[in-house]
Amino acid sequence: MTTELAKAWKLFESGDPQGSMRTLRFAAEELASAEIAPLVAKLADDAGFADLAEASTGLADRPLEVERLYVFGYACVERGLSALAVPALRKALGLLLAPPEPKRTGLFRRKPPQWTDPKLTPGRILLELVAALEDVDRYAEATDLLRAHDALLEDWPGRYLTVYNALMSGRVDMARTVYAALSDPAGIWVEPGQRVGRMLDRAAALPPSGDTDLRGWHYVLTGGLLTTLSPHGFNQGMTGRWAYLQDEFESCRYGLERLRSVLGAAGRKPASIGLLADRGSRALGLAAARLLDVPAAPYRPGTPDVLVVAYDLNACEPASVAALRDRAEGELLFEHATCWTDTPVATADVSTLLVQRVVAPWESGLRVAEDGGVERSEADERSAEELAEAILAADPTPQEGDGQSPPDPDEAFAAFAARATARWATGPRHRINSPGPVRSARFA
């Protein structure tokens, strides 16, 4: 038993199943799937995941059977454990594609790996492996795998996935070449095909400057404009994103100022502000209405030329957010704090910042106490109207940062926005559940 597996068993037996699973995920590439299967079975049983428990037990019994490896990998993907699925699916694909061994006779005859499902083709396993790699943001590996086994693929979905993963790993030229050779999509593949086509159009019009160009890649992949970059930790792996942010009224005000810059660059003035129901979004929307000198009213789907304002779409009423995926004529969607690890179902046309975990200025948060320690502040219970006044009264000057992150002056952003708005705010607001080529540190 390896050190990491022994550690995972010890954590499980001590009553820490989360720590046990975390250890398995981090060490998945070093551990044989059949070796971890008995522990995964116990963890799955404790969690009530009967499908994964059964698949794990089956793999432990027959570790070289292609079907058992596939079923285990599939169950892991379904339960959000794609890091564990990758080695199992890779092993299954390798066994299925391995050349047949010479026939042996007598006592040394070896029984080849068995499977019973005639639909379990190499292509099917390959696509499931690609799905697992996408889930853990390993797009370059997925692209290489798809290119290496191109003969197993059909255009839809196989080579479409090559285009998608090439884009997500920053290989625009490869994506464009494969996309140009695709046959016309049909049925459910029409919309994904159009989506990557728009990504390629934006990449051609405004090419990102490299794999740290967060604003450029955010525009290419989502069509949205990211108005600010974190001034902290760029060289420590954040590359413009936030992991944790205790937000301030000043940041909200500065975000509205940059929103105004976008509208100016696009030559657009909304007819009204659409207010969402949660207190934070309503406060920000009321402040935006005052700043832009337009009326505000509760958001109604289908309202033309409305600017819908959200503080955090993941904190909004889900049905309202789902309604925003298809835009009305002239409709714009602004979100202040966009979660980049759990992206909302509708992608905003303008986002102030990308964050993993945000504490709004009116929520209870941590602060430095008078004795130098840390204490929790009380929540700000003021009404949305009063919070809007606090936002408008705040200083819109951005944070200075750590002095090591690249500067993000207003003039440079305005110039980017002016170039980007030619292909901006058109088509449906697809959810892009990927950080793309720009990697950032995150909480485990």
Report domain extents, the chain: 3-99+115-200, 214-423
For 64-110, the DSSP string reads T-HHHHHHHHHHHHHTT-HHHHHHHHHHHHHHHHSPPPPP--GGG--
pLDDT digits (tens, 9 = 90+) for 156-175: 999 999 999 999 999 999 99
Query: Residue 182 burial by CB count (10 A; 0-12/13-18/19+): exposed, middle or buried?
Result: middle
Confidence category of residue 225, pLDDT binned at 50, 70, 90: very high
pLDDT digits (tens, 9 = 90+) for 13-62: 999 999 999 999 999 999 999 999 999 999 999 999 999 999 999 999 99
Mean pLDDT of 297-317: 97
Instruction: Please name the residues in contact with 298: beta carbons below 8 A apart, sequence gap of 6 or more.
Output: 274, 275, 277
Single out the residue of 91, 128, 133, 135 nearest to residue 113, CA to CA.
Answer: 91
Entry pTM: 0.92
Q: Do domains 3-99+115-200 and 214-423 have the same CATH topology?
A: no
Q: From 1.10.10.60, 1.25.40.10, 1.20.1250.20, 3.30.70.1230, which CATH number describes the 3-99+115-200 domain?
A: 1.25.40.10
**pLDDT for res 56:** 98
**pLDDT for res 377:** 87
**pLDDT for res 365:** 84
444, pLDDT greater than 70? no
CATH architecture under which domain 214-423 falls: 3-Layer(aba) Sandwich (3.40)
Q: Are 241 and 355 in contact (CB under 8 A)?
A: yes
Q: 3-state class of 209 per DSSP?
A: coil
**pLDDT for res 113:** 52
Q: How far is CA 295 from CA 261, 303, 305, 432, in A?
A: 19, 13, 12, 31
**pLDDT for res 1:** 73
Confidence category of residue 426, pLDDT binned at 50, 70, 90: confident
Of the chain, the percentage scoring pLDDT greater than 70 comes to 95
When mean pLDDT is compared across 63-72, 195-204, 371-380, the lowest value belongs to 371-380
69, pLDDT greater than 90? yes
> Across the chain, what does the average pLDDT equal?
94
Of the chain, the percentage scoring pLDDT greater than 90 comes to 88
**pLDDT for res 135:** 96
Q: Dmax of the chain from CA atoms?
A: 89
Q: 3-state class of 348 per DSSP?
A: coil
Hey, CA dihedral for 334, 413, 358, 137, is it positive or negative?
positive
106, pLDDT greater than 80? no
More confident: 427 or 344: 344
Residue for token pair 């500067």: 407
**pLDDT for res 375:** 81
Mean pLDDT of 402-425: 93
DSSP 8-state class, residue 278: S
Mean pLDDT of 172-189: 98
Instruction: Please name the residues in contact with 66: beta carbons below 8 A apart, sequence gap of 6 or more.
Output: 92, 95, 96, 113, 114, 115, 120, 125
**pLDDT for res 366:** 77
**pLDDT for res 116:** 57
When mean pLDDT is compared across 271-285, 333-347, 365-379, the lowest value belongs to 365-379
Q: Are 56 and 38 in contact (CB under 8 A)?
A: yes
SS3 letters across 101-164: CCCCCHHHCCCCCCCCCCCCCHHHHHHHHHHHHHHCCCHHHHHHHHHHCHHHCCHHHHHHHHHH
Phi-psi region for residue 17, left (φ > 0), alpha (ψ -120 to 50) or beta? alpha
